[in-house]
Amino acid sequence: MTRADERPIPLSTRVNRLFEWGHRRGDPEQTNEEVALALGERLRRPIEPRVVESLRDGSLADPPLDLRDAVADHFEVARAYLSCTDYGYVDTQVRLCISARDAGVRSLSMRSLTDPDPAGGTLPRQAMEELIGLLARLGGATGDVTD
């Protein structure tokens, strides 16, 4: 959930995080052209690379919901991450996965990382934030790890 005391994360930032997340360690990010082609296949209509670029640079202020959903589906993230205001928990998960990959973690079980219920039965966001910090230090301390 996105907490009331948090600043909103622009859609362009969330889209760029998906590009950052959507590749293996050491591989380049997908290009706007590659993603546009994949989105076109999902939506069954041509999507120009400049549309993807405008999602990334924030110049497309209010993209259609089907386009947001297609981007989320392409990067295999919950559609809510790009289509509503309740994206905070998913954003933390995405950043955790990026940090784990960049630190050379080979496997990360995400089974318990679902949106927490009021009873608190899953890994809290604060714990994930702490892991992100630890992984950042680990990645910097260990240098490159090959797959």
- Domain range annotation of the chain: 11-142
Residues 6+ apart with CB under 8 A from 8: 2, 85
Percent of the chain residues topping a pLDDT of 70: 81
In one-letter notation, the amino acid at residue 90 is V
With a pLDDT cut of 90, the percent of the chain lying above it is 56
pLDDT in tens, 118-134: 555 456 777 888 888 88
Q: What pTM value is reported for the model?
A: 0.79
Given a cut of 90, is residue 10 above it in pLDDT? yes
Report how far residue 124's alpha carbon sits from residue 113's, in angstroms, rounded to the nearest whole number: 8
The encoded tokens of residue 14 equal 């969330």
Question: Of residues 80 and 2, which shows the higher confidence score?
Answer: 80
**Higher pLDDT pick, 143 / 54:** 54
Token couple for 65:
């919901």
Averaged pLDDT of the chain: 85
Question: CATH classification of 11-142, choosing from 1.20.58.220, 1.10.260.40, 3.40.50.10800, 3.30.1540.10?
Answer: 1.10.260.40
| pLDDT value at 44 more than 70 | yes
Burial degree of 135 (CB within 10 A; 0-12, 13-18, 19+): buried
Q: Which residues contact 60 (CB under 8 A, 6 or more apart)?
A: 51, 54
